[in-house]
Amino acid sequence: SLQDTTTLHNGVKMPWFGLGVYKVQEGEEALQSVKAAIKAGYRSIDTAALYQNEESVGQAIKESGVPREELFITTKVWNEDQRNDSVLEAFETSLQKLGLDYVDLYLIHWPVKEKYKQSWKVLEQLYKEGRVRAIGVSNFQIHHLEDLLSVAEIKPMVNQVELHPLLAQPELRDYCKKQEIQIEAWAPLGQGRLLEHPVLQEIAAQYNKTTAQVILRWDIQNQIVTIPKSVKEARIIENANIFNFSLTESNIQKINALNKNERFGADPDNFNF
């Protein structure tokens, strides 16, 4: 079900499925979409300081009436705060905007060179103080993780990366599995650009499902945490309606075969923001 969880290596349970809110506008748009998602049964919300909608996410959480401990809230520290050595202040600001006294998962948004190891120390401190239930990274390649693990006292519990059928990340997934780092997909739908793919459409027709549902089901069956974004209530409901069917192994293989290492987003080894 929508509330099924993966157990992170520290024992914390994280839902396999959640709502992403990148580019969702602070105010009515963020408020209404998060409320619609929670009403539809979502329990996990993925935001970031960068998205500038933490206040509305926090308001939606309050207005939802769902007890705080039943929700799983992720936010992230932005690059500028790594460069300015202001990770701790950034965390306080996020918490205050969200109106929460802890977040479930705090992530380093991008591996800012010469900075991410220092940033990690701050996240470890927040974790030890119980201000976050889990800590992790985002957009880390294998070499970033190896570098981080060489100094980490606490292993990241999650690595959130661009991942969809055209960028299936098989080596990174294997590596993270061995390290007990849960993989989480951002842009699971390729930011909407995968929805007319003929192979996915053909598979979707077999199940009377949409291409979005097929992709998200592929995530779940591959043990990938997934956080599709939509601001439309009908699509928020549609995207979550993936727990009443199963892709066959042969269809999973057909989707696996679509991988061509094609990124829509920035390259974690060469980003300029």
* DSSP label of 11: S
> Considering the rule CB under 6 A, would residue 230 count as an interface residue with ligand NAD?
yes
C-alpha radius of gyration, the chain, whole number: 18
Query: Which residues within the stretch 106-125 sit at the binding site for ligand NAD (CB under 6 A)?
Result: 109
Q: Which is nearer to ligand NAD, 208 or 250 (CB)?
A: 208
The token pair at 107 is: 């992530």
- Nearest residue to 167 (alpha-carbon basis) of 183, 146, 143: 183
Quote the Cα angle for 124-129-132, to 5°.
Answer: 70
CB of 185 to ligand NAD, least distance (A): 8
Residue 228 binds ligand NAD, judged by CB under 6 A: yes
Give the dihedral of Cα atoms 190, 33, 210, 197; nearest 10 deg. -20
Residues 6+ apart with CB under 8 A from 98: 47, 54, 55, 57, 58, 61, 73, 75
Task: Let me know if 106 is a catalytic residue.
Answer: no
Which of 22, 42, 51, 102 is labelled catalytic?
51
Closest residue by beta carbon to ligand NAD: 20
Stretch in the footprint of ligand NAD (CB under 6 A) among 2-10, 197-205, 228-236, 252-260: 228-236
Q: Which of 17, 120, 127, 186 binds ligand NAD (CB under 6 A)?
A: 186
Instruction: Please give the DSSP secondary-structure letter assigned to residue 167.
Output: B
Closest CA to 185 of 22, 31, 12: 22
* Least separation in angstroms between CB 109 and ligand NAD: 6
Q: How many Cβ atoms sit within 10 Å of the Cβ of residue 12?
A: 17
Q: How far is the CB of 194 from ligand NAD (least distance, A)?
A: 8
Interface with ligand NAD, residue 141, by CB under 6 A: no
Nearer to ligand NAD, 109 or 133 (CB): 109
Annotated active-site positions, please?
Answer: 51
By CB under 6 A, name the binding residues for ligand NAD: 20-22, 46, 109, 138-139, 160, 186-192, 195, 210, 212, 227-230, 235, 238-239, 265
